[in-house]
Chain A
């Protein structure tokens, strides 16, 4: 049996119908169901000028009219060029900041590193609209508190202008930094320190070792981070609409929004714009695969025992700590303080003695006393977040294993299907699920299940890249050794891969779980009276003009998240790989 297992173990071809093949088939069916319907919807609708449901929508006559309308205007190409600059610069800055924080927190003996890591992650839950507003209140030329301070100190008025291209890049970079941090931190937790030690013995200092040893080993995670950051920035909504409109800088999102948001929704044009993202994602996925094609180069988790070691920065650890604190202040501290401040006010005003006097807890009281109005959605989001994140991580762990550790037919289709939803705008995805379950007689409408199913598709691409980056770090020799010892692939997968994937799984799980609190479009479209989520409440509060209550709600969510992160860290510290300092 051992020989048989080894014969079609890692990197070899199994017989025609094996357990693994059956699982791949099962995954293909699940992904086909979850992904092909919305994909089909956008491709079909992009070739139609008739709305779904109208006579002729089914006819096999197609037109490129939407493509001419979408891409035949100079504004689209101007916006695309702006988007390219905006996404490249924001992704680069976020990647740089996120990698620095991940390195400082995971690989050095910097003081306060746990706190810094936790605060960086806490940022993810703050609603995007609060972030954008808090930066307007901080760095608007007219009312920005920072401008006021600088003007008082050095006499230069309007020093910062958040309503500019660079203002957009700044806010977007800070918005994306936690994603880069999560991906890079997960990868850094799994680097074998002996490689760095060897470099140090050969006389290389900390920086050359980081540049020549650590960074190349992180290439899969770095490529995944760059890919997600870039696409996520292209899709970003709050910054382009709240700051870009004012800065008169059109990007892809604003172009799409201005051209498709009128009543009735222009499905044809909307789907046509989505096709750009689909092809772009495919192109970037191809580049990603080219970059990480020599998977064996990044396999740092081998059969030899290793324990993560922290780099002793000496006196530099204080400077590193100061820099990290400054970064997390901009990423999380400033928006959180703005949110906290606003949550205590009846109406937002700049700080003054009079404003301080008007502070109260009324916004919190209103939220918590209205018959559980805010509490049930918070509970729904928690259930959805934990449930969806767990299912997604199990799915992507399996997908990632088949893609990176086997040569089974269909594995690239698996990867494509799991990644393709990144190109689907949430509104298209939500509509597709709405249509699907209106037609399929399953009792999911009005339940959390329908939202969970849509989240599953929405967050698959992100979760997959988190886990894939960790998967390529695991050497196949572990599975081969287990196979020789008689372990079947399922047992090996459970006992070798899942524990070693822990950093990527935890990071991805966290990412999906938190976004279940923030996701708005899908939740709104599929919400009914009994399945409202936290983000729907955020939207209610925002659209009803209660920025103060919205801030109070944000503070509550932030607190819940910090508690969850603390618990996760405790569990992680208890069961994780022991580190040596």
Chain B
């Protein structure tokens, strides 16, 4: 009996291991060759070819990292414009999306055509060489202040941006006492009153670009001494801050607070705009082995269209081709993409030592 079980186990192990480690990546894919060819065409000819090709393909598998209604609305808008492309959309978080995409590609199952990720979270799929280079004229519409988000090699196409910034409860902190800079969060006034999510690569990367490694570590140290609140969930923290649970958010997306204020003008929310706002792009990547190269390209281009950008604007995210829905033009933006693995690793460690360290 034991021998039988052992044999079954070994068979499973051999099978599992034999396939899981299969390397799959090659040089320039046929999809990339197609995109390079399309890039040489005049704009109208290129657009026509994309549409004709997409019409023939008829479908698209897309992994959205927006969730729920806003993701569905976004895709519905595309389908309204291009009803001949049926979009099969899954919506999961960046990390799960990236891991799942990698697993599919390694297994040789090309189930996902395109996915969208926060650019700072993209390092792993770029390292594995899984995405197609897609040079597109659609990025020409991106406003000047956001052009840092554009990837020169075309490995990703930015289509909106998200922010990390300081905000506070106006019932608990008067505007004149509010923090003005990131280092102000270390002041004794805010001891035990500033909340953060557990460390995220996208936040670490932004801090690094804004301050440099030395200053970031210094900031972690003084923040750690000020007994910050570490609590999981951006939205939840915002809800709690607005209810009066604590006074300040050290890093959060502004839109949740702005949304609350829109629903209820008395919501005690204010943003700190004297301190730089960390901003990274959400970008589309096309699978190097996509089964629907035309539909994928059509969708990616469409995300920078007026329809898509207006929708982004209406749900209080950051559009790239039109004015931001609530941030002033002169806001100090720190734009960033990907920083090295070694740097984020060091910053995570520094965070754990200074801020994450618990009893």
The chain A residues found within 8 Å of chain B, CB to CB, are: 24-25, 28-29, 32-33, 36-37, 40-41, 44, 52-55, 57-58, 75, 78-79, 82, 129, 133, 136-137, 140, 142-143, 241-242, 244-246, 248-250, 254, 257-259, 261-265, 346-350, 358, 370, 373, 409-410, 413, 431, 434-436, 438-439, 445, 524-525, 527-529, 537, 539-545, 547
Does A542 contact B236, Cβ atoms closer than 8 Å?
yes
Q: Which residue in chain B gives the minimum CB-CB distance to A408?
A: B1
| 24 A-B interface contacts by CB (under 8 A) | A36-B13, A37-B16, A40-B9, A44-B13, A52-B21, A53-B23, A58-B20, A58-B21, A82-B359, A133-B236, A140-B240, A245-B230, A248-B359, A263-B120, A264-B123, A346-B263, A347-B267, A413-B5, A435-B103, A435-B107, A524-B92, A540-B67, A544-B67, A545-B259
Q: Which 7 A/B pairs are nearest by Cβ-Cβ distance?
A: A58-B21, A540-B68, A438-B107, A264-B124, A250-B358, A410-B1, A53-B106
CA distance A40 to B88 in the complex (A): 33
CA distance A540 to B5 in the complex (A): 42
CB of A399, distance to nearest CB on chain B (Å) = 14
Does A263 contact B94, Cβ atoms closer than 8 Å?
yes
- Residues of A within 8 Å of B17, CB to CB, are 40, 44, 58
Interface residues of B in 12-27 (CB under 8 A from A): 12-13, 15-24
- Residues of B within 8 Å of A439, CB to CB, are 15-16, 19-20, 107
Does B198 contact A57, Cβ atoms closer than 8 Å?
no
Does A544 contact B231, Cβ atoms closer than 8 Å?
no
Interface residues of B in 224-256 (CB under 8 A from A): 227, 229-233, 235-236, 238-240, 242-246, 256
Q: Which residue in chain B gives the minimum CB-CB distance to A526?
A: B100
CA distance A58 to B16 in the complex (A): 10
CA distance A57 to B20 in the complex (A): 9
CA distance A242 to B13 in the complex (A): 38
- Residues of A within 8 Å of B5, CB to CB, are 28, 32, 410, 413
Does B124 contact A370, Cβ atoms closer than 8 Å?
no
- Does B53 lie at the interface of the complex (its beta carbon under 8 Å from any beta carbon of A)? no
- Residues of B within 8 Å of A349, CB to CB, are 243
Q: Which of B1, B230, B358 contacts A409 (CB 8 A)?
A: B1
- Residues of A within 8 Å of B21, CB to CB, are 52-53, 55, 57-58
Does A32 contact B8, Cβ atoms closer than 8 Å?
yes
Does A541 contact B68, Cβ atoms closer than 8 Å?
yes
Does B91 contact A261, Cβ atoms closer than 8 Å?
no
Does A431 contact B99, Cβ atoms closer than 8 Å?
yes
CB of B350, distance to nearest CB on chain A (Å) = 13
Does B233 contact A262, Cβ atoms closer than 8 Å?
no
Q: Which residue in chain A gives the minimum CB-CB distance to B91?
A: A540
Q: Which of A413, A431, A528 contacts B1 (CB 8 A)?
A: A413
Q: Which of A129, A436, A545 contacts B256 (CB 8 A)?
A: A545
CB of B137, distance to nearest CB on chain A (Å) = 30
Does A52 contact B20, Cβ atoms closer than 8 Å?
yes
Does B68 contact A544, Cβ atoms closer than 8 Å?
yes
CA distance A37 to B13 in the complex (A): 7
- Does B218 lie at the interface of the complex (its beta carbon under 8 Å from any beta carbon of A)? no
CA distance A258 to B9 in the complex (A): 33
CB of A79, distance to nearest CB on chain B (Å) = 8
Q: Which residue in chain B gives the minimum CB-CB distance to A75?
A: B357
Q: Which of A54, A258, A264 contacts B356 (CB 8 A)?
A: A258
Given contacts A55-B23, A263-B201, A348-B243, contact A528 B232 (CB under 8 A): no
CA distance A542 to B93 in the complex (A): 13
Q: How large is the interface on B (under 10, 10 to 19, 20 to 34, 35 or more residues)?
A: 35 or more
CB of A278, distance to nearest CB on chain B (Å) = 15
CA distance A547 to B231 in the complex (A): 16
Given contacts A53-B128, A250-B359, A263-B124, contact A242 B232 (CB under 8 A): yes
- Residues of B within 8 Å of A142, CB to CB, are 244-246
- Residues of B within 8 Å of A136, CB to CB, are 240, 245
Does A544 contact B236, Cβ atoms closer than 8 Å?
no
CB of A273, distance to nearest CB on chain B (Å) = 15
Q: Which residue in chain A gives the minimum CB-CB distance to B88?
A: A529
Given contacts A40-B13, A140-B245, contact A246 B229 (CB under 8 A): yes
- Does B95 lie at the interface of the complex (its beta carbon under 8 Å from any beta carbon of A)? yes
- Residues of B within 8 Å of A346, CB to CB, are 263-264
Given contacts A52-B21, A410-B5, contact A445 B111 (CB under 8 A): yes
Given contacts A40-B13, A57-B21, A431-B99, contact A29 B8 (CB under 8 A): yes
- Residues of B within 8 Å of A265, CB to CB, are 95, 99
- Residues of A within 8 Å of B98, CB to CB, are 263-264
Q: Which of A32, A263, A410 contacts B12 (CB 8 A)?
A: A32
CA distance A263 to B200 in the complex (A): 8
Does B231 contact A525, Cβ atoms closer than 8 Å?
no
Does A258 contact B352, Cβ atoms closer than 8 Å?
yes
Does A543 contact B235, Cβ atoms closer than 8 Å?
yes
Does B233 contact A542, Cβ atoms closer than 8 Å?
yes
1/0 per residue, CB under 8 A from A, across B90-127: the answer is 11111110111011101101010000000011011000
CA distance A72 to B207 in the complex (A): 29
CA distance A245 to B99 in the complex (A): 26
- Residues of B within 8 Å of A257, CB to CB, are 198
CB of A7, distance to nearest CB on chain B (Å) = 20
Q: Which residue in chain A gives the minimum CB-CB distance to B352?
A: A258
Q: Which of B100, B103, B263 contacts A347 (CB 8 A)?
A: B263
- Residues of A within 8 Å of B311, CB to CB, are none
Does B69 contact A370, Cβ atoms closer than 8 Å?
yes
- Does B199 lie at the interface of the complex (its beta carbon under 8 Å from any beta carbon of A)? yes
CA distance A431 to B259 in the complex (A): 35
Q: Which residue in chain A gives the minimum CB-CB distance to B70?
A: A544
Q: Which residue in chain B gives the minimum CB-CB distance to A531?
A: B90
Q: Which residue in chain B gives the minimum CB-CB distance to A142?
A: B245
- Does B344 lie at the interface of the complex (its beta carbon under 8 Å from any beta carbon of A)? yes
- Does B46 lie at the interface of the complex (its beta carbon under 8 Å from any beta carbon of A)? no
Does A542 contact B264, Cβ atoms closer than 8 Å?
no
Q: Which residue in chain B gives the minimum CB-CB distance to A238?
A: B232
- Residues of A within 8 Å of B4, CB to CB, are 25, 28
1/0 per residue, CB under 8 A from A, across B258-298: the answer is 01100110010000000000000000000000000000000
Q: Which of B19, B22, B96, B201 contacts A262 (CB 8 A)?
A: B201
- Does B180 lie at the interface of the complex (its beta carbon under 8 Å from any beta carbon of A)? no
CA distance A296 to B9 in the complex (A): 34
- Residues of B within 8 Å of A82, CB to CB, are 359
Does B8 contact A28, Cβ atoms closer than 8 Å?
yes
CA distance A413 to B68 in the complex (A): 43
CA distance A136 to B244 in the complex (A): 11
- Residues of B within 8 Å of A537, CB to CB, are 68
- Known pairs A36-B12, A262-B200, A264-B124. 12 more at Cβ < 8 A? A52-B106, A245-B198, A245-B232, A248-B230, A258-B352, A264-B123, A350-B243, A373-B72, A431-B99, A439-B16, A544-B68, A547-B239
CA distance A143 to B263 in the complex (A): 21
- Residues of A within 8 Å of B90, CB to CB, are 527-529
- Does B348 lie at the interface of the complex (its beta carbon under 8 Å from any beta carbon of A)? yes
CB of B315, distance to nearest CB on chain A (Å) = 10
- Does B89 lie at the interface of the complex (its beta carbon under 8 Å from any beta carbon of A)? yes
Does A431 contact B103, Cβ atoms closer than 8 Å?
yes
CA distance A44 to B229 in the complex (A): 37
Does B8 contact A438, Cβ atoms closer than 8 Å?
no
- Residues of A within 8 Å of B2, CB to CB, are 409-410, 413
CA distance A102 to B180 in the complex (A): 56
Given contacts A373-B72, A434-B100, contact A36 B20 (CB under 8 A): no
CA distance A228 to B271 in the complex (A): 46
Q: Which of B9, B13, B201, B235 contacts A547 (CB 8 A)?
A: B235
- Residues of A within 8 Å of B235, CB to CB, are 542-545, 547
- Residues of B within 8 Å of A75, CB to CB, are 352, 357
Given contacts A82-B359, A136-B240, A262-B200, contact A544 B69 (CB under 8 A): yes
CB of A14, distance to nearest CB on chain B (Å) = 12
CB of B330, distance to nearest CB on chain A (Å) = 27
1/0 per residue, CB under 8 A from A, across B124-154: the answer is 1000100000000000000000000000000
